[in-house]
Structure 1
Amino acid sequence: MEANGACRQAKRVDRRQHVRWRAALGTSVGLLLLLAACATPVQVDRADPRVVQRELTSDVISTGNISEPTQIVLHRQDLTERFESDPEGAIVSLHRTITAGKLDPDALFALSELSFRHAEDTGNHAYYLAAAVYAFAFLFPDDPAQRPNGFDPRFRTASDLYNRGLTSGFASADRSRVLLRSGRYELPFGTIDVTFDPATARWGNLMLVDFTPADELHIKGLQNRYRQRGIGAPLAADATEAVKETGFQVAPEVKVPVTTLLRIDVSRRDLAQGHLRGKIDVYPAFEPSSVVIRGQSVPLEVDTSAAFAYGLSDPKIWRSEFAGFLKGDYFDKNRFPIDGLEPYRPGQIPVVFIHGTGSSSGRWADLVNDLQSDPVIREHFQFWWFSYSTGNPAPFSALRLRTAIEDAVHELDPQGKDPALRQIVLIGHSQGGLLAKMLVIDSGSRIWDAFSSKPLEQLTVSADTRDLLRRAAFVTPLPEVRRVIFIATPQHGSFVAGSTMGQLLGRLVTLPVNLVTAFGETIGGNPDAAILSPGSAGFGSVWSMTPDNPALKAFAAIPVSPKVSAHSIIAVEGDGPVDTGDDGVVTYQSAHIPEAKSELVVRSDHSVQANPHTVSEVRRILLLHLAEACPKGCLPPADHIAGLQR
């Protein structure tokens, strides 16, 4: 009996253990099945392509984050965590890998990006320069077979690292300037001896100084920013020359777009020994547009718009607009009224921009910025602009323009060897167009006859006054001018000038002493002559543009010389009929002239200069002028060019 009971007890224990085993087995199988249904060690998720693209293209320049190729290098060298905790130590370790063996391109790029990242975190200039050194070695290896693929995103990033490394590595303490100097500069792994000859930083006969980083200039007020991608740090420089009391010169507000390049002698041995050499070169924009580095031709990075906008940000330019209207002598008579946007270049056709009333040369900003971006126009034209007191009578401002062009041409080309200076193009906006027309007509005595019932020779006036009146009212086409573009020009007057408000503004203008004297002599000394009265507005530009002014009517009836090609760009607001339209200042009928070779109506207000249709039309006309005037180029003889080189 006891034996049987023991057996039964054992069987019950076995059954309980079996149940437990089965339960445990079931649990284990369940867990395995559950794990199989959970995430795998490697997986993918569907994502927005833009997110994936940002991950693939993110780099320290664009986002501040290390790029994926550099992360791969860190991972392979087991330096990921170390870079986060000890970036300088990680950079040293990675640097040793390229000095111990060949200059591995992957490691060079990673070192450039890591150095730049650390420099951004610490402000250490040595690491900025190191970023430039590593990037230069990556971009321009001794072995041509090691050159990076142009489709490799690292190629553009390395170029940016080099460019930004130079800008920040040579930055002043407040980062407002880039200091280009010879000297020994510290690197994390040694030093680099840099040579720079300031005398080589020239723009024509001007010295280039005071360099500002274009990358740190945010532009407002220009519609487009033009930048040629390439190698080198884009800067905006000041141009200095011996002080000239008069004569043609570069506009004082102009900032010069330049590119600085650090040519580095770098090899594995140099990096291992920790001593490098480099030479700084400075190139004005597009002089040249590309350079050769280690047998490889590469474009220079240029930011023309940044330098242009930086120069135009000078408040003095814009303050001159209202003051220049009210004060007839605002522009110093000792200052030459025409400025160049660059030094005179033989063989390039001058385009003279003439602004309108209450305006300044700065109002041409968008048009000039867009035109300068065209390589053909940039190669064959040079831009000048004319400044004047816009409240003065239009004929006298036109005389100042005529004299300035004659003097500039004589100064720049006294022997008459440059054919480009005999193909000048005038572009005038609003009143500026009236000034331009005065240079391309043969007036005879028609303007004077509308002003006075007595011939000029019979007036009782001084010799100086007689000469001034003759030169202002009796005009012939200026032979150097071959084409004119009228933009929103009141050929028959402006209804704003004839309004009560316009007449009130006209009264506020103070004419220069010589004009006050001339008008006083003419009217006071000739009571028997029926001299045209300006009424309450005075003899200023407002009166010159008043539609019922008989002198303006006589002027409007005189056609542009057939030897000069004229073009009209007319602004009309709204979508209504063109013939009855206006731009808020000038009617279509007033701006229209029958002798124009072409006429373009642009739906715009009076400030039409920056309109893209205006820009396109001006570009078309300039290219047409080039084709007709200089089909084989306007280059003067070689000896003339050589004589201008300094």
Structure 2
Amino acid sequence: MSVSTNDYISQRRGDILTTGEMSSAVGVALQVAGIDEKQCRNIPQECRKQVANNIGIDDEQRMSALSELWLQEALAMDQKINEGALAEDVLNAYLESARHAYAYLFLTQRSPNERALEDRQTQVRDYYNFAVQQTVTRTFNHHQQRLQESIDPQGQFAITANNWSIHGQLNEVRLAEHQKIPEQLIPASSLTFKGLRNQYRRDGIGAELVAVSAKRVVNKNSREEAFSETPFPAITAVLRFSGDTLEEVLNTQEVELLGFDPYKRNSVRLAGNQVPLAANFTSGYGLWLARSGFAKQSLLTLVGRGEVLEKPRVYLMQPYDPRRRVIIMLHGLASSPEAWINVANEVLGDETLRKNYQVWQVYYPTNAPLAFNQHEIRKAIKETLKAFDPEGQNRASQDVVLIGHSMGGVLARLLTSDSGDNFWEPIVKTYNLEGERKEKARKKLHNYAWFKPMPEVSRAVFIAAPHRGTPFAENRFSRWFAGLVKLPVSMLGRITEIAQLLVDPSSANAAPLTRPLNSISNLSDQDPFVRLAADLPIAEHVPYHSIIGNDTPDLSLQLSSDGVVPYSSSHLAGAQSEKVIRSWHSVQETPAAIVEVRRILHEHLHDTNGVSYVD
């Protein structure tokens, strides 16, 4: 009789977690022990006792069967917790499942490496990881106050729960706002995200979790700070049971709970075995995006509604790591860090890039003029680097990579350029600045008309960037929309002061400010600022790359456009590479563009003698 593929896999690998039924391995163990499976379901405590005491079952069979039987008990009680089942009893069942899985994996005769290709070991590893996940989340969610009271400055804590002594340390986990413990731990497996093409994780031991230290990405109480570490870092938790032998582990009521940053640690030592540490590299980033509210706010802030964004803010996608170089991403007009949803995720999904880079994203008011944003973004980046590395000696403070899309690409270019007097001299000439008026204007414009390349940056990637502006900003709709753009009050005050200095009402030849000072007008190919900026020299030590969309394949390359920005505006002579991709303006989210970004980052790592580090 033939067996279907599904039935074959179910018979071989089906278990309490995948099918809700006990595995065939447990069935074999029960048969050897002379226990009826139905009777085992009806009297689970007696069943486990008989399995534990039967001399006809070897340690591997016994430990794996008991782990699955305890997990069955925990899952069954979990469903009845609203019907009177005690939360402490459920926690105990999960701890027992984790204990017996731990014993099977590390304290039976064969090592994990000797069982590497066996289905049963994979199943038991999953029992351990799931039981740890449930134990840790329940411990934190139900005993948060006790944990908060017991944890010391080194991140060590100790509590008791249902005769278990649970102690541990979280010193390897860095939480935002200097919190000692998370407010909540969310299993990564329970999270799904729209818009993310892939979820990246690493198989291994431990529960993959997201540590929640705030409900929102933007904390109203800390808006004055230039940066924000993610309030949703990914962590991996393991349980280590006291004892060096199988007998000692089976008789202990002490367990150590350890939390690790999976970006910094690849493996963990348990019972003398160095084993891979499980990790989920997408969950924390996905939750950060889901709770950011950026999609709704980015367009509202452009027209002065919603939560007004006064100045740029740097968001760290992972807890700061001094050993990793920094990639800074700058979004475009009426956009937000959500524009990088798959670019950032794919960078984090590349193991070599993940070991050597950390991603920062800048959220800035896209209604502001380019000159204002370049100064404020430059200031925010420098303040962030200085906050973590005052002496500028860390690897993270050197060889920074800027990646900018659309208007963000223009800003990235300004951050790597030398203005000289290219802006000041035309201003003096246009507005007839002389004497005291000229000196006052010089002081007011100091931060906006003069700038140097950021020394921390050593590579830039410009994606669909209108370096020479775009005629799109001159069409009827764009001009109408430019009239709706509202600047933050603080910025409007500065612009008004500058305008009053430039325009001399007493002069018969006074030149008026004929264009509104906002981002949309700034991106026009007729705008004086962007036309002057197009000829600024990029720092010699900064290789730069162009990624350009082409939505008009029937036209010659020189006449082509991505639907918003013409090729002639995005093209930069001297680029180390130029990649033209069949795409509309949002080319940064295409697979081809993401592949190119990853290639450039690998090249940067090679050129700057970057060496991967491991724990």
Flag the 1:50–1:473 CA change in 2: closer, same or farther, 3 A.
same
* Separation in 2, partners of 1:555, 1:331: 25
The C-alpha deviation readout for 1:596-641, integer Å capped at 9, x for no partner, is 110011222222222222222112112222222235689xxxxxxx
Flag the 1:93–1:520 CA change in 2: closer, same or farther, 3 A.
farther
CA contact (8 A) 1:82 1:89 kept: no
RMSD of Structure 2 on Structure 1 (CA): 3.3
CA contact (8 A) 2:347 2:353 kept: yes
Match of 2:332 among 341, 350, 356: 356
* Separation in 2, partners of 1:196, 1:522: 64
> Aligned ranges for residues 112-261 of structure 1 at < 5 Å?
112-123=67-78, 124-141=90-107, 143-144=109-110, 149-172=115-138, 182-186=158-162, 191-197=163-169, 201-202=173-174, 207-209=180-182, 210-239=184-213, 246=224, 249-251=227-229, 253-261=230-238
Flag the 1:435–1:593 CA change in 2: closer, same or farther, 3 A.
same
Match of 1:104 among 34, 55, 59: 59
Match of 1:70 among 18, 22, 26: 26
Secondary structure of the equivalent of 2:328? strand
Deviating more after overlay: 481-490 vs 314-323: 314-323
Which residue number in structure 2 is paired with residue 550 of structure 1?
A: 528
CA contact (8 A) 1:484 1:564 kept: yes
CA contact (8 A) 1:254 1:341 kept: no
The C-alpha deviation readout for 1:453-504, integer Å capped at 9, x for no partner, is 3478527659675334233123332222221100111122233322211111
Secondary structure of the equivalent of 1:492? coil
* Separation in 2, partners of 1:463, 1:245: 34
CA contact (8 A) 1:128 1:168 kept: yes
* Bigger-Rg structure (1/2): 1
* Separation in 2, partners of 1:298, 1:529: 78
Which residue number in structure 2 is paired with residue 86 of structure 1?
A: 43
Deviation (angstroms), 1:207: 3.7
Flag the 1:312–1:462 CA change in 2: closer, same or farther, 3 A.
farther
Match of 1:584 among 545, 552, 563: 563
The C-alpha deviation readout for 1:412-443, integer Å capped at 9, x for no partner, is 44434346524221111110011111122233
* Separation in 2, partners of 1:510, 1:203: 36
Secondary structure of the equivalent of 1:117? helix
2:596 corresponds to 1:627: no
The C-alpha deviation readout for 1:108-138, integer Å capped at 9, x for no partner, is 1112122222322221333222211111111
Secondary structure of the equivalent of 1:519? helix
Match of 2:279 among 302, 314, 322: 302
* Separation in 2, partners of 1:272, 1:448: 78
Deviation (angstroms), 1:363: 2.0
CA contact (8 A) 1:176 1:213 kept: no
Flag the 1:326–1:544 CA change in 2: closer, same or farther, 3 A.
same
Which residue number in structure 1 is paired with residue 5 of structure 2?
A: 49
Deviation (angstroms), 1:64: 2.0
Flag the 1:591–1:161 CA change in 2: closer, same or farther, 3 A.
same
Deviation (angstroms), 1:566: 1.1
Opposite residue 352 of structure 2, the aligned amino acid is V
Deviation (angstroms), 1:214: 1.3
Secondary structure of the equivalent of 2:588? coil
Deviating more after overlay: 451-460 vs 163-172: 451-460
Deviation (angstroms), 1:528: 5.4
Secondary structure of the equivalent of 1:196? strand
Which residue number in structure 2 is paired with residue 331 of structure 1?
A: 309
2:52 corresponds to 1:95: yes
Opposite residue 307 of structure 1, the aligned amino acid is G
Which residue number in structure 2 is paired with residue 563 of structure 1?
A: 541
Deviation (angstroms), 1:367: 1.1
CA contact (8 A) 1:103 1:268 kept: no
> Aligned ranges for residues 367-406 of structure 1 at < 5 Å?
367-406=343-382
Deviation (angstroms), 1:339: 3.1
Flag the 1:456–1:441 CA change in 2: closer, same or farther, 3 A.
farther
Flag the 1:176–1:148 CA change in 2: closer, same or farther, 3 A.
farther
Which runs of 5 or more residues in structure 2 are unaligned?
79-89, 148-156
Which residue number in structure 2 is paired with residue 445 of structure 1?
A: 421
Match of 2:596 among 607, 617, 627: 617
Secondary structure of the equivalent of 1:346? coil
* Separation in 1, partners of 2:391, 2:140: 49
The C-alpha deviation readout for 1:185-234, integer Å capped at 9, x for no partner, is 44xxxx53211345664459664413221122123221110111111111
With the length of structure 2 as denominator, give the TM-score of the two structures: 0.85
Identity rate, percent: 25
Which residue number in structure 1 is paired with residue 580 of structure 2?
A: 601
CA contact (8 A) 1:441 1:476 kept: yes
Deviation (angstroms), 1:574: 6.3
Which residue number in structure 2 is paired with residue 483 of structure 1?
A: 459
Secondary structure of the equivalent of 2:579? strand
* Separation in 2, partners of 1:138, 1:357: 56
CA contact (8 A) 2:173 2:235 kept: no
* Separation in 1, partners of 2:247, 2:49: 16
Flag the 1:460–1:339 CA change in 2: closer, same or farther, 3 A.
farther
Opposite residue 125 of structure 2, the aligned amino acid is S
Flag the 1:413–1:167 CA change in 2: closer, same or farther, 3 A.
closer
* Separation in 2, partners of 1:154, 1:633: 34
Match of 2:434 among 458, 479, 482: 458
Which residue number in structure 2 is paired with residue 263 of structure 1?
A: 240
With the length of structure 1 as denominator, give the TM-score of the two structures: 0.81
Secondary structure of the equivalent of 2:125? helix
* Separation in 2, partners of 1:324, 1:459: 39
* Separation in 2, partners of 1:470, 1:65: 72
CA contact (8 A) 1:534 1:543 kept: no
* Separation in 2, partners of 1:146, 1:595: 54
* Separation in 2, partners of 1:258, 1:382: 16
Opposite residue 392 of structure 1, the aligned amino acid is A
Which runs of 5 or more residues in structure 1 are unaligned?
1-44, 635-646
Flag the 1:198–1:595 CA change in 2: closer, same or farther, 3 A.
closer
Opposite residue 262 of structure 2, the aligned amino acid is A
Opposite residue 293 of structure 1, the aligned amino acid is L
Q: Number of aligned pairs? A: 577
* Separation in 2, partners of 1:633, 1:595: 30
Opposite residue 472 of structure 1, the aligned amino acid is Y
CA contact (8 A) 2:356 2:611 kept: no
* Separation in 2, partners of 1:284, 1:174: 17
CA contact (8 A) 2:108 2:246 kept: no
Secondary structure of the equivalent of 1:609? helix
Which residue number in structure 2 is paired with residue 283 of structure 1?
A: 260
CA contact (8 A) 2:32 2:56 kept: no
* Separation in 2, partners of 1:272, 1:587: 70
The C-alpha deviation readout for 1:320-374, integer Å capped at 9, x for no partner, is 30133223993345xx722333344334322211111111122212111111222
Secondary structure of the equivalent of 1:62? coil
Which residue number in structure 1 is paired with residue 85 of structure 2?
A: none
Opposite residue 534 of structure 2, the aligned amino acid is A
CA contact (8 A) 1:326 1:508 kept: yes
* Separation in 2, partners of 1:573, 1:148: 56
Secondary structure of the equivalent of 1:484? strand
Which residue number in structure 1 is paired with residue 86 of structure 2?
A: none
Secondary structure of the equivalent of 2:381? helix
Opposite residue 49 of structure 1, the aligned amino acid is T
